[in-house]
Amino acid sequence: MKKLYYPKAFLCFIIVCMGQQVNAQQHVEDLFKSGPADATKLINAYFDPLYKGLGAGLTDGWTNTAKSKGFLKFDVRVSATAAFVPQSDRTYDVNTLGLNNIKPALGSSSIGPTAFGNDEEGGRMQIYTSGGLPTTSFFNLPQGLGFHVVPSAQIQATLGLPKNIDISLRAMPKVQISEDLGSLSMIGFGAKIELLPLLAGKSEKIIPIDIAIAGGFTQYKYTLPLNTNNSSNSDQRIDARFNGVNIDAIVSKQLLFFTPFASVGYQTSNTNLRALGTYNFDTGNGTSATFTDPVSSKQTNIDGLKGTLGFQLKFGFFRLYGSYTESKYSMVNAGIGFGVGK
């Protein structure tokens, strides 16, 4: 019978997709025992850097040049983004969350590591009844993964259209990672318009740079089947959606096979995470509780400006990409691709 390992299992799908290994899971089904309201607050606090880091990565890596592609010219790229979790987002304090039925046990710390915090358990918690009476149920806040970088990946194809416009598609069909780690899919759409040919006609030959406006939308969907404590409740699962939107102004200059670029833009992302199904738990003192669809969280994670410096190297059909972005979570992006035409 599977246990509710879902914070660590949910993180593992990212690690698996990036070719990394994780061999740690933390049993945290006790988070539900205090009721849906407290569980949602704890889960949001624990996952906060994942929401922000993955949300930032969704807006990254769309383009590395302001030059649009010629009509029906195309390229395909695979890239990866690493978003760095600041020190302030590596821990959380349960005393600041407004919990109703969970308090630190006598003499225990109220601090817990977030998902991308240190690989150590947080403070020991005690569950209280709705009337404020302590129960005999205790648990430790779940541990972090022990590293402070949130990875994400982009798989993208770009096609040139008339009028100095190109469009991009990000897509990954639903992939079953494993029975324990669930399934993942991705979809996204983007477009770029090169401005100088539209605004000044042939004068772009005089101005030695390329300028463009670009935008994109990307969504990850993740589903994890669960079988927690009661195998008859086959409807147990986690559904999560991560959405990211960006708009950028880009300047670049092609120097033979090397094209440096700079961009400034706006990014926003949101997360919609739900734990669905019916869950039965022993809550201590000889009592039990049943919760249906106990967690529903929808929040905006990233909303602000960003600045990026990067480059593209082009050798015939082959391309190499790299960039650094300064934003709420700083990021690096690197990738490879191939294409036909300019």
Determine what percent of the chain is predicted with pLDDT higher than 70. 82
Question: Mind listing the pLDDT tens digit for each residue in 252-298?
Answer: 999 989 999 999 999 999 999 888 888 777 666 666 777 888 888 89
Q: Which of 213, 162, 218, 219 is nearest to 191 (CA)?
A: 213
- The rounded distance, in Å, linking the Cα atoms of 145 and 22 is 8
Tell whether the model's pLDDT for residue 12 goes beyond 50: no
DSSP state of 240: E
3-state secondary structure of 197: helix
- Report pLDDT for 128: 85
Which of 17-21, 26-30, 206-210 has the lowest average pLDDT? 17-21
Distance CA 238, CA 244 (A): 20
Q: Using DSSP bridges, classify how beta strands 134-140 and 165-178 pair: parallel, antiparallel or unpaired.
A: unpaired
Which residue, among 282, 270, 335, has the nearest Cα to 135 in the 3D structure? Answer: 282
d(CA 182, CA 7): 13
Q: Give residues with Cβ within 8 angstroms of 109, minimum separation 6.
A: 122, 123
| Contact between 91 and 112 (Cβ < 8 Å) | yes
Interatomic CA distance for residues 56 and 242, integer angstroms: 10
C-beta separation of 82 from 62 below 8 A: no
Q: According to the model, what pLDDT value does residue 230 have? A: 55
Q: Is 199 exposed, middle or buried (0-12, 13-18, 19+ CB in 10 A)?
A: exposed
- Band of pLDDT at residue 84, cut at 50, 70 and 90: very high
pTM above 0.85, yes or no: no
DSSP secondary structure letter of residue 255: B
> How many Å separate Cα 23 from the centre of its chain?
21
Measured from the Cβ of residue 158, the count of other Cβ atoms closer than 10 Å reads 23
Q: Name the residue with higher pLDDT: 323 or 274.
A: 323
Looking at domain 6-340, its CATH class is mainly beta
Distance CA 5, CA 224 (A): 11
CA 287, CA 130: separation in Å to the nearest integer?
A: 13
Token pair belonging to 278? 């019916």
On the question of pLDDT at 11 being above 60, the answer is no
Residue 54 backbone phi and psi in degrees, to 5: -70, -40
Q: Which residues pair with 337 in a beta bridge?
A: 77, 319
Q: What does the pLDDT average to over 245-250?
A: 97
Q: Is the pLDDT of residue 125 over 60?
A: yes
**C-alpha–C-alpha distance, residues 262 and 64, integer Å:** 9
Determine the pLDDT at residue 169. 97
Q: What beta strand segments (E) does the chain contain?
A: 74-84, 91-93, 102-104, 111-113, 124-128, 134-140, 149-161, 165-178, 182-194, 210-225, 237-252, 258-276, 278-284, 287-292, 295-315, 318-326, 331-340
Tokens (6 digits) for 287: 């009592």
Beta-carbon count within 10 A of 88 CB: 7
Q: How far apart are CA 48 and CA 85, in angstroms?
A: 10
